[in-house]
Every structure is written in structure tokens, then in C-alpha cells.
């Protein structure tokens, strides 16, 4: 089933309902959105000669054109490559080249960054800004009457997620995967009606965009903030404007919202659900959020490789309870989703009992088909038919999963994944850096902050300003360390491996003190 069928069915049943809004105003109804998407699909095929299976990149901040480009590509049988708009140009170029994208949609703020990349990305034939005559031309003409037929196992979305090697990997999400995710949301996370909305304050290239699919399937309104992002004051005004409001938030966004001055006098009556995930939600922060907004929260645990769908802690389990296990459950990531099998296994992939700690693995129709152009990584990650998440955790006797650590050392800051090795490689490009190790420490605003431990070469005096500059030349700004610690040596084991646990222990000791 082509995911474009979700839009076709929603438009037939609810053609006059708001489909995409910006701020306070509706931009397109579902009938108008379907018409626009069908016209764009025809022009992508006819004007740009794209064929089924070709990749279309979306390098865009949140905007009303995002869902149009996404569904137009699917309507035409194409594959979308949504890309984090905050990445460094070198990172953007690598993903565009690796995916073999033939066309890229960009927002005006990114046009000057992406357009020059066409010269180095051989496959990229066109970069189209949403405010350009070329984009306007795509919306003119006759609509395609039928969406392209696809196999459920055909690729729909290439989700680029970095690994410990520092190079992004493209998780291949099929039409079947994303339809399973959509149905799973409706089964386990929340019910949706055509009178509801999802407000996209978080990036559409990631969780918020993925959760736009179940809302679109039920003809709910997709609301884009005028700021294109998250600001507590604006968020609260949008809640007051639009009924049945749902958000996907990183925990840091939840904290910023409930700690804002504006919330003290805000009318949150229209707020229906906040789905949170993508990073650790500390128990004290969650209890404060519940005290401020009540049991409107749902926690999800998933990965790009199993989009948004491994375990869930539903609203009912957030309700204050005298159950002795209540606080432990709040600190967990919930129970396995309806159509997902989840295990905790040892080094031999043997299932462990309740209370035993091991790697979290899962299998389901939601699990990716593999990594794009990386057979070895696909085989390693999907060995035995199970997705090996790299996360370490344990189940209790009631089936609640608690994560203990992330074995891949990923740092999650502000809801974005930051992988230490790519930061380390950037810092090692400085001629005065002898050794470096990057870890995360808890941060009250961002969830985690990047800290770099630096060993300078003899006789070299390094400054944070010098190291900031070398980072900004190679990686995205948000990945830059928030703190540098200059040390004489790094703790290592007998094999020469840096002991990051000892580096993290320094933060724990400082916190205890």
C-alpha cells in the first residue's frame, strides 16, 4: 500500500477539514492538499523525469510545504530523504551523495547552503527552494489521477541516523514500516479524530514528521508555528487557538514549557497529548511536568531503525498512584508495543530473565529493512531477525523496560543525537590536539551537554576558542562541546582503550559533592 493512500482516504472523507495551517490560519484543506500533491507528483515525473524509486531530499525547516513535498514524492512512487536542517554543509553533502538524491526541496533559509552542493553531488540535478518560481511551477497543471502502485516492502523514507563510526547510516523505512508505525500509534499511543491537530514545534525531519502520518490518516490538522520551531510563549498561544492539540517533544522541550513564565497564566484546556521521547526524561522533571499539566503525557521509546515504536508508557500509567511500583514505572520506558516483540539478551543473544541486564532487541513490521548501501552493518544490526538497538536495559516482572545505558555512547542534547566519535575526529583535526575523548554530562536545559577532555601536544597552549573554530569548520554548531577540560592524560585500560566510564564518574563525583 502506497502511503499516499492515507491522504487520498482522508481527503475523500473529510475534504473540507483543515489539513495544513500556519500559526492561526488554515492554508490548505484536505481536498486542496490532495489536489496540490497530485499535481506536484505529475510534475516531478514529467518535468524532472524522476522515476519510481528515485530519491528526493527534504532539507527544510518546518514549513507548510513540507508535507506537500513528502506526499507528492510518495504519490509519484519516489523515496523521500528528510534531512536535519541543522547539519553542517559537509554533512548535508555526504547524505545527499550517499543517498543518490536527484532533487532536493529546500526552505529559503537553506537555499544558499544547499544549492552550491549540487556541484559536488553528481546525482543532484535540481535544488528547488519553496519560494522559487520552480516550486510554484510544480503546483500548476493537471493532477495525476492515481498514485503510483508500490510494493509494501518498497523504500519510502531514508532516515539517516549516525553511528559510532561518525558516518551517518541510512535506515531504510518501507511503506510497510511506516504504515505499521501509524497503526501502532492509534493502537497504543492515542486516539485521533478529524477535530484534533498536531502542532509541529519539533523538527518534521524526525519524530514530529513521523507522527504527522497517523494524524494525517485521521484527517487531523497539521499546524506549523510561524517561528517554524519551538518557543514556549508561541506554543501556548497555539494550544489556545487549536483544539485537540498533540505535540511530539524531546524531554528538554517539555522542561522548557512547564518551567516558562507564560504557563502560569496560560489556558491549556485544548492540550490533548504530549508524546515525549528521544532522550532521558529524569523522574523529578517528569513529576514536575505532571504537576503542572496533569496526565497528558505519553512516553515512547524507539529508534530511527524502528521509528518511534518499541515500547510505550501510556497516559493511564502516568496517573498518580499509591502502587509501590508507580515511581519505578515512571522511570521506565514502559511496556512492549502491541505488534512488537521486545527482549533483553546477553552477548550470545540468549533471552534474559526479569531483573537481568543486557542489550535490548526487538522485531516487528516496524523494524527497518536494513541500512542503505551497507550490507555488513545491516547484517550485524539485524542478526537473527532481531533489531539490536545497542541500548542496555532490563525488564521487571511486569514487563516494564528500564534503560540503563546507551552502549553506543550517543549523547542526546535537546532531542538531537550527537555521536562522540564525529566530535572527536573534528577536534583531532587541530594540529595541537594529541588526544581527545568526548562524553555527555547531565544538563538541566538540554538534557545532556557535550564535554571534551583534551590532551594537548607538548608545548602547545590550546584555548576553547581555537577548538570551537575547528569544530565549526567540520560539524554542525549544536554538536560543538559546551565545555572543554584540559588534562595531562586520559584514563585507559590495559588495551589502550579510553575509559569513558571514569570520565563520566568525574561528573557524578562532582554532583555528589
**What is the tens place of the pLDDT at every residue in 290-313?**
999 999 999 999 999 999 999 999
Q: In the chain, how many H helices and how many E strands?
A: 16, 24
Predicted confidence (pLDDT) at residue 400 exceeds the cutoff of 90: yes
Is the pLDDT score of 163 beyond 50?
no
pLDDT level of residue 466 (50, 70, 90 thresholds): very high
pLDDT of residue 509: 67
The reported pTM is 0.86
Given CATH 3.40.50.980, say whether it is the number of domain 1-7+27-150: yes
**Ramachandran angles phi, psi of 376, nearest 5°:** -65, -45
Backbone angles phi, psi at 278, to 5 degrees: 90, 5
The whole-chain average pLDDT of the chain stands at: 93
pLDDT at 206: 93
Three-state DSSP class for residue 302 = strand
∠ Cα 120 478 440 (to 5°): 125
pLDDT value of position 343: 98
Q: Long-range pairs for 342-351 at CB < 8 Å and ≥24 separation?
A: 342/310, 342/311, 342/401, 343/386, 344/393, 344/394, 344/395, 344/401, 345/386, 349/383, 349/384, 349/386
The residues near 214 (Cβ < 8 Å, ≥ 6 apart) are: 181, 182, 183, 185, 186, 189, 192
Q: Give residue-wise pLDDT tens across range 255-301.
A: 899 999 999 999 999 999 999 998 778 788 899 999 999 999 999 99
Q: In sequence order, what E strands does 180-238 have?
A: 197-199, 221-224
Q: Does the structure show a pLDDT above 50 at 474?
A: yes
Residues in a beta bridge with 267: none
- Residue environment code for 220-243, b if the CB has 16+ CB neighbours within 10 A, otherwise e: bbbbbbeebbbbbebbbbbbebbe
- pLDDT exceeds cutoff 90 at 335: yes
pLDDT of residue 165: 45
Give CA 107 to chain center in angstroms.
Answer: 19
Domains of the chain: which residue ranges? 1-7+27-150, 411-512
DSSP string, 112-172: HHHGGGGGT-TT--EEEETTSHHHHHHTSSPPPSSPPP--TTSEEEEEEEE-TTSSEEEEE
pLDDT in tens, 408-435: 677 888 888 787 878 888 898 899 998 8
> How far is CA 388 from each of CA 158, 175, 384, rounded to the nearest angstrom?
19, 22, 10
**Sign, Cα dihedral of 376, 377, 378, 382:** positive
Average pLDDT score over residue span 354-380 = 97
What's the Cα-to-Cα distance from 283 to each of 168, 331, 333, 469, rounded to whole Å? Answer: 31, 6, 11, 37
Copy the grid coordinates of residue 164: 559510532
Grid cell digits, residue 196 = 484534533
Given a cut of 60, is residue 495 above it in pLDDT? Answer: no
Q: Virtual CA dihedral for 364, 370, 376, 377, nearest 10 degrees? A: -80
- The percent of residues in the chain predicted with pLDDT above 70, rounded, is 96
Domain 411-512 adopts which CATH fold? GMP Synthetase; Chain A, domain 3 (3.30.300)
pLDDT at 47: 95
> What was the pLDDT predicted at 496?
57
Amino acid at each position: 500500500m502506497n502511503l499516499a493512500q492515507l491522504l487520498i482516504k482522508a481527503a475523500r472523507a473529510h475534504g473540507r477539514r483543515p489539513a495544513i495551517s500556519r500559526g492561526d490560519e488554515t492554508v490548505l484543506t484536505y481536498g486542496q492538499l490532495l489536489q496540490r500533491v497530485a499535481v506536484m507528483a505529475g510534475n516531478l515525473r514529467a518535468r524532472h523525469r524522476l522515476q519510481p524509486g528515485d530519491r528526493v531530499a527534504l532539507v527544510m525547516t518546518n514549513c507548510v510545504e513540507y508535507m506537500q513535498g513528502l506526499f507528492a514524492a510518495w504519490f509519484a512512487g519516489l523515496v523521500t530523504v528528510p534531512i536535519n536542517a541543522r547539519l553542517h554543509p559537509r554533512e548535508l553533502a555526504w547524505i545527499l551523495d550517499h543517498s543518490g538524491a536527484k532533487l532536493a526541496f529546500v526552505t529559503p533559509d537553506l537555499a544558499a547552503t544547499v544549492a552550491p552542493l549540487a556541484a559536488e553531488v553528481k546525482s543532484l540535478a535540481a535544488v528547488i527552494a519553496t519560494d522559487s518560481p520552480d516550486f510554484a511551477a510544480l503546483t500548476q497543471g493537471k493532477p495525476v489521477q492515481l498514485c503510483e502502485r508500490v510494493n509494501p516492502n518498497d523504500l519510502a523514507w531514508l532516515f539517516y541516523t549516525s553511528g559510532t563510526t561518525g558516518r551517518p547510516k541510512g535506515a531504510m523505512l518501507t511503506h510497510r514500516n511506516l504504515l505499521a508505525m501509524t497503526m501502532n500509534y492509534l493502537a497504543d499511543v492515542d486516539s485521533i479524530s478529524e477535530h484534533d491537530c498536531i502542532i509541529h514545534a519539533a523538527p518534521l525531519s524526525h519524530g514530529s514528521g513521523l507522527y504527522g502520518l497517523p494524524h494525517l490518516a485521521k484527517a487531523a490538522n497539521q499546524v506549523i508555528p510561524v517561528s517554524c520551531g519551538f518557543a514556549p510563549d508561541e506554543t501556548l498561544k497555539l494550544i489556545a487557538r487549536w483544539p485537540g492539540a498533540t505535540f511530539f517533544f524531546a524531554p528538554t522541550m517539555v522542561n522548557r514549557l512547564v518551567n516558562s513564565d507564560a504557563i502560569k497564566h496560560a489556558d491549556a484546556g485544548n492540550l490533548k497529548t504530549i508524546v515525549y521521547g528521544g532522550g532521558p526524561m529524569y523522574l523529578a522533571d517528569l513529576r514536575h511536568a505532571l504537576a503542572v499539566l496533569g496526565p497528558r503525557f505519553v512516553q515512547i521509546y524507539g529508534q530511527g531503525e524502528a521509528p518511534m515504536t518499541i515500547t510505550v508508557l501510556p497516559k493511564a500509567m502516568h496517573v498518580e498512584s499509591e502502587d509501590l511500583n508507580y515511581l519505578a514505572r515512571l522511570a521506565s520506558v514502559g511496556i512492549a508495543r502491541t505488534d512488537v516483540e521486545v527482549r533483553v539478551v546477553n552477548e550470545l543473544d540468549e533471552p534474559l530473565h526479569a531483573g537481568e541486564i543486557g542489550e535490548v532487541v526487538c522485531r516487528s513490521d516496524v523494524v527497518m529493512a536494513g541500512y542503505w548501501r551497507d550490507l555488513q552493518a545491516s547484517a550485524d544490526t539485524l542478526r537473527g531477525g532481531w533489531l539490536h538497538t545497542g541500548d542496555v536495559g532490563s525488564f521487571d516482572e511486569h514487563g516494564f523496560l528500564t534503560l540503563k545505558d546507551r552502549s553506543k555512547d550517543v549523547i542526546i542534547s535537546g532531542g538531537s543525537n550527537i555521536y562522540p566519535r564525529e566530535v572527536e575526529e573534528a577536534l583531532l583535526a587541530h594540529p595541537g590536539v594529541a588526544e581527545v575523548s568526548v562524553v555527555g554530562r547531565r544538563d538541566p536545559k538540554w538534557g545532556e551537554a557535550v564535554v571534551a577532555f583534551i590532551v594537548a601536544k607538548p608545548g602547545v597552549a590550546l584555548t576553547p576558542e581555537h577548538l570551537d573554530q575547528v569544530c565549526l569548520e567540520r560539524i554542525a554548531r549544536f554538536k560543538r562541546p559546551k565545555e572543554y577540560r584540559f588534562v595531562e592524560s586520559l584514563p585507559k585500560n590495559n588495551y589502550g582503550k579510553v575509559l569513558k566510564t571514569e570520565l563520566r564518574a568525574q561528573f557524578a563525583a562532582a554532583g555528589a559533592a
